[in-house]
Amino acid sequence: MKFKNPFQRQKNSQKTNNPGENQNNKPATNNPGGDPHAPPDNASSNQVLHRKTLRQALATVHDPIIDKPYGEAIEIKLPAETPENIGVTLRYPVGDFLSTERENIQQALTKIAPRAHMAHFGTVIRPHKVQRDIAPVDNIKNIIAVASGKGGVGKSTVTVMLAKSLQALGARVGILDADIYGPSMPRMLGDHGKPASPDNKSFLPVDADGIQNMSLGYMMDEASPAIWRGAMVSRALMQMMNETRWDNLDYLLIDLPPGTGDIQLTLVQKIPVTAAVIVTTPQDIALIDAQRAWAMFEKVQVPVLGVIENMSTFICPHCGHEEHIFGQGAAETMARKFQAPILGRLPLNIAIREHMDAGQPEHLWKAPKDKTLAESGQKIALNTAHALAQLPVDLNRNNPLTLKKTF
């Protein structure tokens, strides 16, 4: 990885007989065969530190947890009085990985700008741009649509996993259950009561262990079918969206129903969606429908962050043999076709089914005895938040820099 040197030399037309310079007037180094990224040893006070150049250099550094360059997700601040005291901010939550991230950036900074000191480090989640002519929703920074195009791929389970994993990283998260015909969030998130209405006009979201949630399932009996036409479904979705008192969310995840019909069109035409995530399984038939969902978001100019492959493999709990029961390669096919990343994979695991049916997602995704699934969930959440942080920031909605975590 090649770092750009953020020190810009001032022009000096005078010749010198300094033995530390070679015949081409290039500064010699005292580190032959050493780190090729290290700046010259004689970097001196005639070199000026520039914020833009430093940010560009740090943007090429890879996040050690997800092995992707920080890119647009990094911010640099240089105080005018003491520009060597650098403030670094990541635009996505990192939770317990904060110290690892800090050490990684500090090491890179030492190589890029030896005279600099990282005085502040933290994270902040910015609101990003949405579709044109759609006003943002108060108290929601970013809205992420979770879609599949096909039923039966575990999209709602993935939505809960993503919500709990983002929460574990330190973000404020909510879920809007837009699957009107089969609302499952009240069951998956556990029994936390029904939404209250303080003024008989709006609703307070149900607090499911810190996840703000709204679902038609709270208004209906589990056995009652929603026999509604498309216009009624769209109105119900908009009503839940606009009449819920969301409280200062970093991310609102919208669990979409399968297909590319009325609800999906209403979503992208009337709701300020920041980006989308596609869920698929390795099956060819699931891939076909997932590609339709992806193409729909592309046509309406909603960025797709990537694909999550659910039920990717089955690992025998007795012998440890791994089997691709539903085939393999679907996620790679989509990634190549649409030039977007694979955000992660989840296995076919009986513990997921048992705990989600029991309404105990925290046993899987927050502080479980078996940390394998929780770690997979956090990697997927990090990949998702990192991909979203690469999108253009909505400058009109940005508050002054406030670090969520700092040292």
pLDDT band at 150 (very low <50, low <70, confident <90, very high): low
Mean pLDDT of the chain: 79
C-alpha span between 259 and 407 (Å, rounded): 46
pLDDT band at 383 (very low <50, low <70, confident <90, very high): very high
Q: What is the pLDDT of residue 2?
A: 45
pLDDT band at 30 (very low <50, low <70, confident <90, very high): very low
**Residue 81 structure tokens:** 């009085």
Asked which of 235-249, 315-329, 374-388 is least confident by mean pLDDT, the reply is: 315-329
Domain covering 140-391, topology: Rossmann fold (3.40.50)
- The residues, ordered by sequence, that sit 6+ positions from 233 with a Cβ below 8 Å of its Cβ are 180, 181, 226, 262, 263
**Residue 353 structure tokens:** 């089914």
- The residues, ordered by sequence, that sit 6+ positions from 57 with a Cβ below 8 Å of its Cβ are 3, 4, 5, 6, 112
177-209 burial by CB neighbour count: b if 16+ within 10 A, else e? bbbbeebbbbbbbbeeeebeeeeeeebebbebe
In three-state secondary structure terms, 51 is: helix
C-alpha span between 277 and 269 (Å, rounded): 17
Pairing of strands 249-255, 173-177: parallel
The reply to whether 15-123 and 140-391 are identical in fold is: no
**Contact indicator for 307, 271 with CB cutoff of 8 Å:** no
Q: What is the pLDDT of residue 182?
A: 67
Average pLDDT of the segment spanning 328-350: 79
Q: What is the pLDDT of residue 221?
A: 63
User: How many residues does this entry show for the chain?
Assistant: 407
C-alpha span between 105 and 279 (Å, rounded): 32
Q: What is the pLDDT of residues 305-335, one digit of tens each?
A: 999 988 877 777 777 767 776 667 667 777 7
Average pLDDT of the segment spanning 399-404: 46
Confidence check: pLDDT of 238 > 70: yes
Average pLDDT of the segment spanning 51-76: 93
pLDDT band at 225 (very low <50, low <70, confident <90, very high): low
Which sequence spans correspond to the domains of the chain?
15-123, 140-391
On the 0-12 / 13-18 / 19+ scale of CB atoms within 10 A, 121 is buried
pLDDT band at 228 (very low <50, low <70, confident <90, very high): low
Q: What is the pLDDT of residue 17?
A: 42
**Contact indicator for 179, 146 with CB cutoff of 8 Å:** no
**Residue 145 structure tokens:** 């649509």
**Contact indicator for 165, 378 with CB cutoff of 8 Å:** yes
Confidence check: pLDDT of 404 > 80: no
pTM confidence score: 0.82
Q: What is the pLDDT of residues 159-178, one digit of tens each?
A: 999 999 999 999 999 999 98
More confident residue, 95 or 280: 95
Which amino acid type is present at position 234? S
**Contact indicator for 124, 370 with CB cutoff of 8 Å:** no
Q: What is the pLDDT of residues 34-43, one digit of tens each?
A: 444 444 333 3
Q: What is the pLDDT of residue 398?
A: 67
Most confident among 6-20, 69-83, 84-98, 219-233 (mean pLDDT): 84-98
User: Could you say which of 2.30.30, 3.60.21, 3.30.300, 3.40.50 is the CATH number of the domain covering 15-123?
Assistant: 3.30.300
C-alpha span between 327 and 329 (Å, rounded): 7
